[in-house]
Structure 1
Amino acid sequence: MIHGILRDKPTRLFISFTAFFVANALIAECIGGKLFSLEKLLGLQPADFTFFGQQHLSFDLTCGVLLWPLEFIMTDIVNEYYGPRAVRRISYTAVALISYAFLMFYLAIYIPSSNYWLTSQTKNGLPNMQVAFNGIFGQGMWIIFASIVAFLVSQIVDVTIFHKIKKYTGEKYVWLRATGSTLVSQLVDSFIVLYIAFKIGQGWSWQKVLAICLMNYIYKFVMAIVLTPVIYLAEARIEKFLGHDTTRKMKRAAMGLEEE
């Protein structure tokens, strides 16, 4: 039985998608504690926007946003070939494993430290490794909860909008359903994270929440447009791997259509 599963190309492809999807989401969560300057990365002067009365806003973003666009691309690809149920399955799997990972991080934080390890990096400028470890892996519970809720809700929004657009357009306008669903779901994701983690968790004003949300969304909006060609490239590679007939049948099955 196992050999039959491994020989089935659509099954192998789905396993690969799921593994990458979960790993990418977990990495994004782990590196999300670091902020970077997009302007510095691009060699530009810092932006100086004013939104909702909040001045001197620039693109100081979490490193997680470097990877999250790939999640939404993967969502659209899986939705295209395997349907909404498959997207929900890998999304729930990712949420469960991310939650498990953070639980293990917190257990590791509270395990008693070795005296040798505590001072092992003093010569490298880290006098207390426990403090450093806590700073990297001990993200606030509000932020963890917010990111998980935002991820799950935005995935559901993405798959729903994608599927509704596809029902109207059929096989045409891949860019419309992929980019359109991503643009909406990214907005939902940005708002939920900021609302839960900082409005509820830290008492930010609505003006600050909306201003930072808009700055984050500007970046995500641009990336959604820029990465649209990746969908077409991925589809071409998938069709080459699976064959035209198989991909046609998978797409129709994903839409809930019976073969003629």
Structure 2
Amino acid sequence: MYKREHLLFVILGGFFISNALVAEFIGVKIFSLEKTLGFAPVDWSFLGQSNLSFNLTAGVILWPVVFVMTDIINEYYGKRGVRILSYLTVVMISYAYVMVTLAIGAKPADFWISQVNTDIQPNIDVAYGRIFGQGLGVIVGSLIAFLVGQLVDVTVFQYLRRFTGARRIWLRATGSTLVSQFIDSFVVLFVAFYFWPGAANRWTVALVLAVGTVNYIYKFVLAIVLTPLLYLLHWVIDRYLGQELSERLIREAAGENS
């Protein structure tokens, strides 16, 4: 009923949007990467900022998957495919935040507060708002960083493709991710914590650069580590599509940007 290339795009797109959406909402939790892996925090100093460790938002657990999906979609569907999904993702995340804001603002039922975890201080409704609610600056910064990062990623990917052809997918995929995530790591912090807040709560430029560098180191390592996954997905998709269809999609994706 459905052509394989269309069904594949729906599957990849659904996975792409779902991971981006979930990453946005679980990102309110900050976790220690070192402690999670059983190590002591590094506590290093950089740009005059001390006690820097790999304290990351929980969203970084899923964002690497989005990076891989971006490169796979770029490989088979080109710039247009990635841009469509990136714009749609921003719309869906914005819609989700509006709905969550409405849910947080809804008056809780008395029995829900009195019967559900009465030992929680503050009460369950306040906890609900604090868990799901995020500052507007963080939301705006996250969306801007995501969209800018995606557009940079797809552009660098296709630029590198001119030199690599169909070979060396690791080079164009990893290279585009490293460039785009360098930009993403700093854009979100500058928007959310430097430009958006008032003077009293504004981070210094040194702090933004220091924290952004720590975040980028994590993303840099993940981009390298996930390279085998990229090849595995490429292999699975090629088997699903068949050699002829797979090669045609890749040629069309490359030709779209030539």
For the superposition of Structure 1 and Structure 2, which TM-score range results when normalised by the shorter chain?
Answer: over 0.9
> How far has the Cα of 1:109 moved from its partner?
1.1
Q: Is the 8 A contact 1:80 1:254 kept in 2?
A: yes
Corresponding pairs, count: 253
State yes or no: 1:161 paired with 2:160.
no
Q: Distance in 1 between matches of 2:133 and 2:223?
A: 30
Query: 110-119 vs 139-148, which deviates more?
Result: 110-119
State yes or no: 1:115 paired with 2:110.
yes
Q: Is the 8 A contact 1:119 1:127 kept in 2?
A: no
Aligned to 2:232: 233
Q: Give the counterpart letter for 2:217 in structure 1.
A: I
For 1:17-166, list aligned pairs within 5 A: 17-126=12-121, 128-166=123-161
Query: 121-130 vs 176-185, which deviates more?
Result: 121-130
Q: Distance in 2 between matches of 1:161 and 1:124?
A: 52
Q: Is the 8 A contact 1:118 1:127 kept in 2?
A: no
Q: Give the counterpart letter for 1:147 in structure 2.
A: S
State yes or no: 1:199 paired with 2:194.
yes
Aligned to 1:251: 250
Q: Is the 8 A contact 1:25 1:68 kept in 2?
A: yes
Q: Distance in 2 between matches of 1:105 and 1:22?
A: 17
Q: Give the counterpart letter for 2:67 in structure 1.
A: F
State yes or no: 1:190 paired with 2:185.
yes
Q: Deviations over 1:165-185 (max 9, x none)?
A: 001210121111000000011
Unaligned runs of 5+ in 1: none
SS of residue in 2 equivalent to 1:139: coil
> How far has the Cα of 1:227 moved from its partner?
0.3
Aligned to 2:209: 210
Q: Give the counterpart letter for 2:90 in structure 1.
A: V
> Cα distance 1:210–1:127, how it changes in 2: closer, same or farther (>3 A)?
closer
> Cα distance 1:43–1:21, how it changes in 2: closer, same or farther (>3 A)?
same
Q: Deviations over 1:163-210 (max 9, x none)?
A: 010012101211110000000111111101100111122410001000
Q: Deviations over 1:220-251 (max 9, x none)?
A: 10000000111111110001100111111000
Q: Give the counterpart letter for 2:117 in structure 1.
A: T
Q: Distance in 2 between matches of 1:138 and 1:211?
A: 26
Aligned to 1:174: 169
Please tell me the root mean square deviation across aligned C-alpha atoms, in Å.
1.3
Q: Give the counterpart letter for 1:234 in structure 2.
A: L
Query: 215-224 vs 111-120, which deviates more?
Result: 111-120
Q: Give the counterpart letter for 1:224 in structure 2.
A: A
Unaligned runs of 5+ in 2: none
Q: Distance in 2 between matches of 1:50 and 1:126?
A: 36
Identity %: 50
Query: 123-132 vs 93-102, which deviates more?
Result: 123-132
Q: Is the 8 A contact 1:183 1:224 kept in 2?
A: yes
Greater than 6 Å deviation, 4+ residue runs = none
Q: Distance in 1 between matches of 2:122 and 2:140?
A: 31
Please report the TM-score for the alignment, with normalisation by the length of structure 1.
Answer: 0.95
SS of residue in 1 equivalent to 2:64: helix
Q: Distance in 2 between matches of 1:224 and 1:76?
A: 11
Q: Distance in 1 between matches of 2:164 and 2:18?
A: 32
> How far has the Cα of 1:121 moved from its partner?
2.4
Q: Distance in 2 between matches of 1:224 and 1:232?
A: 13
> How far has the Cα of 1:127 moved from its partner?
5.1
Q: Is the 8 A contact 1:95 1:148 kept in 2?
A: yes
Q: Give the counterpart letter for 2:255 in structure 1.
A: G
